[in-house]
Structure 1
Amino acid sequence: MKTESSCKTTSYLPISWDDMEVINEAIQSKKTGKIFFFGSDGQLEEAKGSVVKILEEKNKGVYAIMDSGGHVRVDRIITIFGKVGAAYEEYEAFGNACMDCR
C-alpha cells in the first residue's frame, strides 16, 4: 500500500455536501488519523496525519492537504478518520464483486 498520493488519471467528480462536511469537521477539530483512498493507479493508498486545509485546483479537482504536505483528492477518499468518504461505495462494490465472474 502506498502513501500520500494524488489521483490524476480519473476525472474529478464533485462530492456531496455531507462528504465535504466530514472533511471540514476534521480540519476544525484538528483530528489526526488515517485516510484510505484510491490513488492515481486505482490502488488502495493511505495518508496519515491531519487535514489542514482544502485546496481547489482548477481543472484538476479538490484536494485535502495534509500536515505532512501530502494531498488527497477528496472524491477518491474511501474513509477519513474512520468515517465513510465519497469513494466508499466504489470500494464496497469492488469488495463485493464476484471474483469468478468474467
Structure 2
Amino acid sequence: MNLKNELLTGLYFPVGWEYREIIETESKKKTDGKIFYFCPEEGICEGQGTIVEMKDSQSDGIFLVLSDQSKIRIDRIITLFGKPGAAYEEYDGYSNSCMSCLGGYEKDEI
C-alpha cells in the first residue's frame, strides 16, 4: 500500500468557507509568497507567486492558478502565505503520530 499516492490522488474534498475567504483576501491583496501543499510527485511541494485566479473544474475540484501558471488544488494546501490551509490538520497529524509504539520499526523487524 502506497500511502503517499493514496492520500494525494482521488476525490476532491470540500473546503471550509474560512479557507476560501483567506484565499480570496490574499488574492485581492495581490500577496506574493510561498504556498506549501501536498503533491503526488514529492509528497510536499512549494509554489511561489501571486494568485491570479481560482478555477473550478467540475471533475477535479477547485484550483489556484499562480502567476507562473502553476495550478494547486485548494483542498491540498498546507499553508498559504504562512496561514494554515485546508490540509494543515492532515500535515500536522504526521507530527502527532505515535512514533514510540514500535520505535519507528515495522512489526516484523522487531
TM-score class normalised by the smaller sequence? 0.7 to 0.9
Are 1:9 and 1:41, in contact at CA under 8 Å, matched by a contact in 2?
Answer: no
Please report the TM-score for the alignment, with normalisation by the length of structure 2: 0.81
Structure number having the greater helix percentage: 2
Structure 2: gaps of 5 or more residues: 1-6, 103-110
Q: RCO higher in 1 or 2 (8 Å CA, sep ≥ 6)?
A: 1
Q: Assess, with a 3 A threshold, how the Cα gap between structure 1 residues 18 and 42 changes in structure 2: closer, same or farther.
A: farther
The CA distance in 1 between the partners of 2:45 and 2:73, in whole Å, is 12
Root mean square deviation, CA, Å: 1.7
1:21-62 C-alpha deviation (Å, 9 max, x unpaired): 000011100000000000025701100111111001111010
Matching residue of 2:3: none
Larger radius of gyration: 2
Structure 1: gaps of 5 or more residues: 1-6
Q: How many residues align?
A: 96
Is 1:97 the counterpart of 2:97 in the alignment? yes
Q: Which amino acid aligns with 1:34?
A: K
